[in-house]
Amino acid sequence: MKLTCFKRFSIIALIVALSGTMNITVSAQSKKQKYKVAVCDWMILKRQKLGAFGLASEIKADGIELDMGGLGKRPTFDSKLGDPIERQKFLDKSKETGVGISSIAMSGFYAQSFAKRDSITLMINDCVATMKNMKVKVAYLPLGTESDLTKNPELRPIIIERLKWAGKQVGKIGGVIAIETSLNATEEKKLLEEIGCKHIKSSFNFANAVDNGRDIATELKILGKKYLAQIHASTTDTVWLENDKNVDMPKIKKALDEMKWSGWLIVERSRDVTQVHNVKANYGANVAYLKKIFQN
């Protein structure tokens, strides 16, 4: 049976229409995704580089945790993001690739002291301004080796004082600073209660629990939805997440589901030590595994 031109056109139009509907549906589902998976730009060797978006897209991550840059002895971060022209390049690349920005990281504090640095006001204000200008609601602040509250409990009063002030600053833009500490969940919850600011929450790290023999799911439940801003969903480098016997990912997902939490799962490490420099293999595998468990 031969089709008239009109019928052929109608069928083609219908196919196109259905295709568009399917795309819209997929896009809508993506936006509604309860859990999203990101990678740290500095750990994929693309710290504050536009190429981080392309690489994240290639390994199928939903986003990147975008770093503010190094600190060293500078008064503030070595960041391009304060320049409107440079900042727009990052925003455009994010839109072009469909790779979001989970959070703005202050990774310089892994080695620098949040408790003792003099120019903390400038650093926090620069980060908050970047969050505002890039429409990102979460900043990541690791209280690293120099502000480790387990090893240096005497720093607790000044850290609390500074975090209370920082919370007020980020609160002005309706954002959150997510801190990572070495404390267990019970003690970290006490710290957050003492700070008493809804704009200071936790960036929970799987590695902290695993390295100290604690159960990840139990720790998450103790901390609770109220205090959880984001999760660094990886452990110290040994094997990929899917091969890590210390990480019961279905149990972790069940705990988060029961808590009714939603947000970003960010891969920092969990690299296979036999191929630690293979960025695509390590981060591709960990992203794929997290998506298999959390987005299936």
Burial of 73 (0-12, 13-18, 19+ CB in 10 A): exposed
Pairing state of beta strands 200-205 and 228-232?
Answer: parallel
pLDDT in tens, 79-126: 999 999 999 999 999 999 999 999 999 999 999 999 999 999 999 999
Q: Considering the chain, what percentage of its residues have pLDDT values greater than 70? A: 90
CATH architecture of 33-294: Alpha-Beta Barrel (3.20)
pLDDT in tens, 181-231: 999 999 999 999 999 999 999 999 999 999 999 999 999 999 999 999 999
- Whole-prediction pTM value? 0.89
Answer whether 41's CB lies under 8 Å from 81's CB: no
Distance of CA 21 to the CA centre of its chain: 31
Check the CA dihedral 44-50-54-60 and report its sign: positive
Answer whether 258's CB lies under 8 Å from 224's CB: no
Q: Please report, for the chain, the start and end positions of each structural domain, with discontinuous segments joined by +.
A: 33-294
Residues 224 and 186: their CA atoms lie apart, in Å, by 10
pLDDT of residue 259: 98
The residues facing 264 across adjacent strands are: 36
Q: CA nearest 231: which of 258, 199, 253, 198?
A: 253
Residues 198 and 214: their CA atoms lie apart, in Å, by 26
